[in-house]
Amino acid sequence: MQISQKQLEQVNDRIKALVNAGSFYGKKLEAAGITEVKTAEDFLKLPFSEKKDLRDAYPLGLMTAPEEEIVRIHSSSGTTGKPVIIPYTAKDVDDWGEMFKRCYEVAGITNKDRIHITPGYGLWTAGIGFQNGCEKLGAMAIPMGPGNTEKQLEMMQSMKSTVLCSTSSYALLLAEEIEKRGIKDKIHLKKGVIGSERWSKKMRDRIAESLGIELYDIYGLTEIYGPGIGINCEHNTGMHYWDDYLYLEIIDPKTGEPVPDGEQGEIVITTLVKEGAPLIRYRTHDLSRIIPGECPCGRSYPRLDTIMGRTDDMMKIKGVNVFPSQIEEILGSFKEISSEYQIRISHLDGKDTMRIYVESTGDVDFAALSKRITDKVKSVIGFTPIVKVVEIGVLPRSMKKTARVIDERYDEK
Ligand code: ZN
């Protein structure tokens, strides 16, 4: 997906703003002697930006518009080190709302819908992003925020919510609760807009089937507005993203070189019109690919495949590189197990060991099933895991992101 002339002009405009403001990337460009890009080749010479740069700019080093134009900040929670602070102008907030509104529209959601929003409100971009888009669309927002499942289900029934916005883990938890209580006929949900974590086809099918709803994947990250920069359409052939606001590249995470459309790599994003904190060639560490060709829906927005994982999710076990998504895919081929699993990696007696916990119902032979899964992992990935089958419901469900991979090697002496 080569950068267009119009996009190049927009990038030039952003470069000017960054240099004038003396923000972190402006200084980086100045140091590299770059004041403009004329061609697609020039663009590829622009230095990448990284989360670390954003952290180093804490608190307001990213601010590129005059302070009197900044109307709000958001922050991504750092699990390590300082958080990242992203300043927004009124236009940024408005643009984000437009993008989010477009997401809802692509999902066939209208101003007659009642949108039940469970992601968190606050410094995060989650809840407020879903809300902003909902209000722009003219739909009715039910701003629940996370937690309190009892209250969620009560409101869902009395408000007759038609759209559920949540993480996949929380959607699963709600689906299971609704089943357990036998209140499915009192629930009016038609669609789910699910964001912020990688999820398997199996989990998707389970939620869709259990709630009887259509599901849409939404993409986004705090550094780049927030959720709402792309969503899949009714044909479910990847997420359309908004190339009038963003330019996306897929690169080889090791070499930094662009890969051809269709090949998997790391998503790199350039914001084309952002004012408060424009980002140029920002490395997301999310893995996906551009889907070549046209979507049967006829929309001209390019498509990004489902997020396959993160470059930093890669686990090295017994010298073999493994992505959680590979294990997930293997587990997905076993009908006898649920969508939930847990991987624990430890270091025992000088050896790396991987234990995989899966859930099944009591009417299958746990030992035989465990042997079959072990053999399959061995044949696909090349090493032998220890597979433990447990009863359904034993593995943790969570309201936010479920930790499925636990690397214990660094906790041990
Ligand atoms: Zn489409």
| The CATH fold of domain 89-311 | Rossmann fold (3.40.50)
Tell me which CATH code domain 314-410 carries.
3.30.300.30
DSSP annotation string for 43-78 = HHTSPPB-HHHHHHTTTTTT--S-GGGEEEEEEEPP
Q: What pLDDT is stored for residue 307 in this prediction?
A: 87
278 close to 95: Cβ distance less than 8 angstroms: no
Two tokens at 144? Answer: 């629940």
From 358, 320, 55, 347, select the one nearest 203 (Cα to Cα). 358
CA–centroid distance, 182 to ligand 1, in Å, is 35
Q: What pLDDT is stored for residue 142 in this prediction?
A: 98
DSSP annotation string for 286-333 = EEE-EEPS--TT---S-EEPPP-EEGGG-EEETTEEE-HHHHHHHHHT
- Tell me the three state secondary structure of residue 338: strand
Q: What is the DSSP letter of 348?
A: E
CA–centroid distance, 300 to ligand 1, in Å, is 8
257 close to 287: Cβ distance less than 8 angstroms: no
CA–centroid distance, 193 to ligand 1, in Å, is 16
111 close to 138: Cβ distance less than 8 angstroms: yes
CA–centroid distance, 301 to ligand 1, in Å, is 8
CA–centroid distance, 110 to ligand 1, in Å, is 18
Low-confidence ranges of the chain (pLDDT < 50): 411-413
The strand pair at 337-348 and 405-407 is best described as parallel
What is d(CA 115, CA 144) in angstroms, rounded to the nearest whole number? 10
What residues have a C-beta under 5 A from ligand 1, the ion?
233, 235, 295, 297, 299
Report the length, in residues, of the chain.
Answer: 413
CA–centroid distance, 298 to ligand 1, in Å, is 6
DSSP annotation string for 108-171 = T--TT-EEEE-SPPSSSSHHHHHHHHHHHHTPEEEE--S--HHHHHHHHHHTT--EEEE-HHHH
For 14, 71, 72, 132, the CA distances from 68, given in Å and listed in that order, are: 19, 8, 11, 22
Q: How many CB atoms lie within 10 A of CB 230?
A: 25
Q: What pLDDT is stored for residue 253 in this prediction?
A: 86
CA–centroid distance, 107 to ligand 1, in Å, is 10
CA–centroid distance, 199 to ligand 1, in Å, is 20
CA–centroid distance, 238 to ligand 1, in Å, is 8
From 302, 365, 379, select the one nearest 333 (Cα to Cα). 379
Q: Which residues pair with 283 in a beta bridge?
A: 268
Q: Where in the chain is the domain with CATH 3.40.50.12780?
A: 89-311
What is d(CA 100, CA 75) in angstroms, rounded to the nearest whole number? 19
CA–centroid distance, 44 to ligand 1, in Å, is 28
CA–centroid distance, 253 to ligand 1, in Å, is 28
DSSP annotation string for 10-46 = HHHHHHHHHHHHT-HHHHHHHHTT-----SHHHHHTS
CA–centroid distance, 304 to ligand 1, in Å, is 11
Buried b (16+ CB within 10 A) or exposed e, 363-393: eeebeebbeebeebbeeebeeebebebbeee
Two tokens at 38? Answer: 């004329």
CA–centroid distance, 303 to ligand 1, in Å, is 8
CA angle 209/211/214 to nearest 5° reads 70
Q: Where in the chain is the domain with CATH 3.30.300.30?
A: 314-410
Q: How many CB atoms lie within 10 A of CB 136?
A: 18
For 140, 213, 309, 376, 393, the CA distances from 336, given in Å and listed in that order, are: 40, 23, 25, 14, 14
CA–centroid distance, 365 to ligand 1, in Å, is 43
CA–centroid distance, 134 to ligand 1, in Å, is 21
CA–centroid distance, 297 to ligand 1, in Å, is 4
